[in-house]
Amino acid sequence: MKFKNRWKKAACLLLTIVSTACLGKVDVKAADYWPDAPETLSPSVILMEESTGTILYEKNSDEAHYPASITKIMTTLLALENGNLSDMVTFSDDAINNTEGSGIARDYGEQMTLEQCLYGVMLESANECAYAVAEHVGGTVENFVDMMNAKAKELGCTNTHFANPHGLQDENHYTTAHDMALIAQAAYQNETFLLYYGNKKGTRLVKEKVNVRYSSSVSREKALVEQLIKGPDSDNESAVLPEGTKVLSVSVKDHICYVNLDAGFLDTTNVMNPEVPVYAIVNSIVDGSAISRVQILIDGKTDITYMGKINLEKPLSRNPNIVEGE
Burial profile 277-303: b = 16 or more Cβ within 10 angstroms, e = fewer: bbbbbbbbbbeeeebebbbbbbeeeee
Catalytic residue among 8, 42, 72, 249: 72
72 is catalytic: yes
102 is catalytic: no
201 is catalytic: no
Catalytic residue among 19, 86, 125, 309: 125
Just list the catalytic residues: 69, 72, 125
